[in-house]
Amino acid sequence: MKKSSRNQIRLHRKRRIRSKVKGTGEIPRFSVFRSLRDIKVQVIDDVSGKTLVSASLKDLKKANNSVTGAMEIGKMAAKKCLEKKIDKVVFDRAGYKYHGKVKAVAEGAREGGLKF
């Protein structure tokens, strides 16, 4: 039996989550992607297939790839969402476990004024 890699297991979890989580025009999907160098957030309307808001660590000049940087990304994404009159979202953790940076992004977005 072939052993699955961590990323393959994460992608399997992601497909399972995405079958249940859908974003609409009124309540879009707040999707998080993290890598070793960057954290990216997108707010997506799945009905029209368009990205409404995006934010990443590259947008913040002084932020680093840590829990505090992730919290700043969440706050920045929430600020951009509120400018576009989006206050409710559905959180999509994209197969990542809900702790560390992913949790910090969610908490930062909540502090910024988004409701999950």
pLDDT tens string 49-83: 999 999 999 888 777 889 999 999 999 999 999 99
CB 76 within 8 A of CB 55: yes
How many other CB atoms sit within 10 Å of the CB of residue 57?
22
CB 38 within 8 A of CB 56: yes
Q: For tokens 């920045």, what's the residue?
A: 76
Is residue 7 included in any domain, yes or no?
A: no
Is residue 10 included in any domain, yes or no?
A: no
Note the helical H segments in the chain. 6-18, 67-83, 101-112
pLDDT > 80? residue 1: no
Is residue 54 included in any domain, yes or no?
A: yes
How many other CB atoms sit within 10 Å of the CB of residue 73?
28
Predicted local distance difference test score (pLDDT) of residue 60? 84
**Which CATH number covers residue 95?**
3.30.420.100
- Domain of 70 in residue numbering reads as 22-112
Is residue 4 included in any domain, yes or no?
A: no
Say how many CA atoms lie within 13 Å of 48 toward its Cβ: 11
Is residue 46 included in any domain, yes or no?
A: yes
CB 44 within 8 A of CB 81: no
Output the six-digit token pair for 106: 């969610």
Is residue 76 included in any domain, yes or no?
A: yes
Whole-prediction pTM: 0.88
Predicted local distance difference test score (pLDDT) of residue 42? 95
In angstroms, the CA 115 to CA 85 distance is 12
pLDDT digits (tens, 9 = 90+) for 7-41: 999 999 999 998 888 888 889 999 999 999 999 99
Predicted local distance difference test score (pLDDT) of residue 2? 78
Categorize the per-residue pLDDT at 45 as very low, low, confident or very high, splitting at 50, 70 and 90: very high
Q: Name the domain count of the chain.
A: 1
